[in-house]
């Protein structure tokens, strides 16, 4: 027996030994705030609406109660976890499998970009937990013979605000129609939007609200700054900062898939180890890119907002907002990739003549004025010649690749948009063609 009110261990929350051991193996010393709040409620058999973000430990907050219920009532196709992106789906699956390793839990990930047939075969083996993006799951529910979720006991909607913002509302409603009404439902969301509220009313029964306040604050150990520069010099400033801060790991956020690809190519043409991550890449390439980056094989990840939420990349030292986020809340998610778990980090936001209004909105949201990132324009612009050359090559490579792709005539949405082979480059710092004359003050 533990003291009432003690929330300091997984045991004290009511988690059974075999699952506590799994937490120990993961070296989790104590439950996080959201776990302390959600797990006891979930173990009482209640529905939950959880307001928490990625990084709070919310995956285990819903996974542990589900695994515990599965132990009591071993059954195939027991739980469905809906999540907005493929990367998150794999990440959740990894965590559920790690937590359930002692009880032999079987998970299947059902996301776009991977062959339907392979997934159908895996689903036919009837896993305990299905982790899915809504679109592909509906595809299987409608087209895969013999697959249904009529015995489901648990439904989790993870990052519900994002699922709904990505226009998956129709799919979610379709899924809700074909699963049993008698079930437990956990709905997790970073924000309580009107759409989430509507979904909550439609899908949860007398839910208990659990909340950890991460209210648009950015952590103290995060040094944030901005850089006001003409749009035409952005590439040059990026190269200069990457040079200055060499030795760190970076995520550079771009606004579009195309720009992500272009920036990655340009940097690689300068001998930097940059790897792109965006929604037009085939699924395996995205996972490959992420794994390479996670294992520190590459130190610069160039990404769209695909990577701004939900991805657990522990060692990012610097986040660069190369293209300013159009939704200011994305700023919080982007910079949240650094200064995690008590470590320090830097976030630098490029603001051009076109971005002033968006930038002001960001400052309003975070409630503070940020300092300027110190640079000396003359020093930066000596790199211009080399950067221009790298830009030119990157453009050519992109064009060549587009042409090759057209010739191959593979119009499928998820066809590979791979980074073309890089020309031979010298790794290391980019040096200007001319000598830097002025010293940094």
Least separation, in Å, of the C-beta of 261 and ligand AMP? 27
Q: Are 307 and 277 in contact (CB under 8 A)?
A: yes
Nearer to ligand AMP, 325 or 336 (CB): 336
Of 26-34, 249-257, 382-390, 405-413: span binding ligand AMP (CB under 6 A): 26-34
Q: How many residues bind ligand AMP (CB under 6 A)?
A: 12
Q: Are 59 and 10 in contact (CB under 8 A)?
A: no
Of 53-61, 79-87, 139-147, 209-217: span binding ligand AMP (CB under 6 A): 53-61
Nearer to ligand AMP, 63 or 152 (CB): 63
48 is a site residue for ligand AMP (CB under 6 A)? no
- Cα-Cα-Cα-Cα torsion 97, 101, 103, 109, nearest 10 degrees, comes to 20
Least separation, in Å, of the C-beta of 91 and ligand AMP? 7
Q: How far apart are the first and last CA of the chain?
A: 64
DSSP state of 419: P
Of 31-39, 68-76, 289-297, 421-429: span binding ligand AMP (CB under 6 A): 31-39
Burial degree of 176 (CB within 10 A; 0-12, 13-18, 19+): middle
31 is a site residue for ligand AMP (CB under 6 A)? yes
Nearer to ligand AMP, 63 or 347 (CB): 63
Of 21, 33, 55, 294, the one binding ligand AMP (CB under 6 A) is 55
- Sign of the Cα torsion 314, 419, 328, 237 reads positive
DSSP state of 417: -
59 is a site residue for ligand AMP (CB under 6 A)? yes
Least separation, in Å, of the C-beta of 289 and ligand AMP? 19
Of 48-56, 288-296, 356-364, 413-421: span binding ligand AMP (CB under 6 A): 48-56
345 is a site residue for ligand AMP (CB under 6 A)? no
**Contact residues for 268 (Cβ-Cβ < 8 A; gap 6+):** 274, 419, 422, 425
Of 28, 216, 228, 401, the one binding ligand AMP (CB under 6 A) is 28
60 is a site residue for ligand AMP (CB under 6 A)? yes
57 is a site residue for ligand AMP (CB under 6 A)? yes
330 is a site residue for ligand AMP (CB under 6 A)? no
Q: Are 145 and 175 in contact (CB under 8 A)?
A: no
Nearer to ligand AMP, 57 or 276 (CB): 57
Comparing CA positions, the residue from 132, 153, 135 lying closest to residue 81 is 132
Least separation, in Å, of the C-beta of 125 and ligand AMP? 26
Strand partners, 225: 348
Strand order of the sheet with strand 274-277? 222-228, 345-351, 318-321, 250-253, 300-303, 274-277
- Sign of the Cα torsion 188, 139, 180, 43 reads negative
338 is a site residue for ligand AMP (CB under 6 A)? no
Residues engaged in binding ligand AMP (CB under 6 A): 28, 31-32, 35, 54-60, 312
């Amino acid at each position: 027996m533990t003291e009432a009110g003690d929330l300091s261990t997984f045991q004290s929350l009511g988690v059974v030994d075999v699952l506590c051991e799994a937490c120990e193996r993961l070296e989790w010393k104590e439950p996080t705030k959201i776990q302390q709040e959600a797990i006891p409620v979930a173990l009482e058999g209640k529905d939950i609406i959880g307001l928490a973000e990625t990084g709070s430990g919310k995956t285990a907050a819903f996974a542990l109660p589900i695994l515990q219920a599965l132990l009591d009532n071993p059954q195939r196709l027991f739980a469905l976890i809906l999540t907005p992106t493929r990367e998150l789906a794999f990440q959740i699956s990894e965590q559920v499998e790690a937590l359930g390793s002692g009880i032999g839990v079987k998970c299947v990930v059902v996301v776009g970009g991977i062959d339907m047939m392979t997934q159908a075969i895996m689903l036919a083996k009837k896993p305990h937990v299905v982790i899915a993006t809504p679109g592909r799951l509906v595809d299987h529910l409608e087209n895969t013979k013999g697959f249904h979720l009529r015995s489901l006991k648990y439904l989790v909607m993870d990052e519900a605000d994002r699922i709904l913002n990505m226009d998956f509302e129709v799919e979610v409603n379709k899924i809700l129609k074909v699963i049993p009404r008698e079930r437990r439902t956990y709905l997790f969301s970073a924000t309580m939007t009107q759409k989430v509220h509507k979904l909550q009313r439609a899908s949860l029964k007398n839910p208990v609200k659990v909340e950890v306040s991460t209210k648009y604050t950015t952590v103290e150990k995060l040094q944030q700054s901005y850089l006001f520069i003409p749009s035409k010099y952005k590439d040059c400033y990026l190269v200069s900062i990457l040079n200055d801060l060499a030795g760190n790991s970076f995520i550079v956020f771009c606004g579009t898939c195309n720009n992500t690809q272009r920036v990655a190519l340009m940097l690689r043409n300068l001998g930097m180890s940059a790897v792109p991550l965006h929604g037009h890449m085939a699924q395996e390439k995205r996972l490959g890119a992420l794994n390479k980056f996670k294992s520190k094989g590459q130190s610069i990840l160039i990404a769209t907002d695909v990577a701004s939420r939900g991805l657990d990349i522990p060692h990012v030292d610097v986040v660069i907002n190369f293209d300013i986020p159009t939704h200011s809340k994305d700023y919080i998610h982007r910079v949240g990739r650094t200064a995690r778990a008590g470590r320090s980090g830097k976030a630098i936001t490029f603001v051009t003549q076109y971005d002033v209004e968006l930038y002001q909105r960001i400052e309003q949201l975070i409630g503070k004025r940020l300092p300027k990132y110190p640079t000396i324009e003359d020093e930066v612009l000596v790199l211009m010649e080399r950067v221009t050359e790298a830009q030119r090559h990157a453009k050519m490579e992109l064009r060549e690749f587009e042409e090759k792709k057209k010739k191959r005539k593979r119009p499928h949405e998820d066809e590979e948009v791979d980074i073309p082979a890089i020309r031979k480059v010298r790794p290391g710092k980019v040096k200007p063609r001319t000598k830097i004359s002025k010293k940094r003050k």
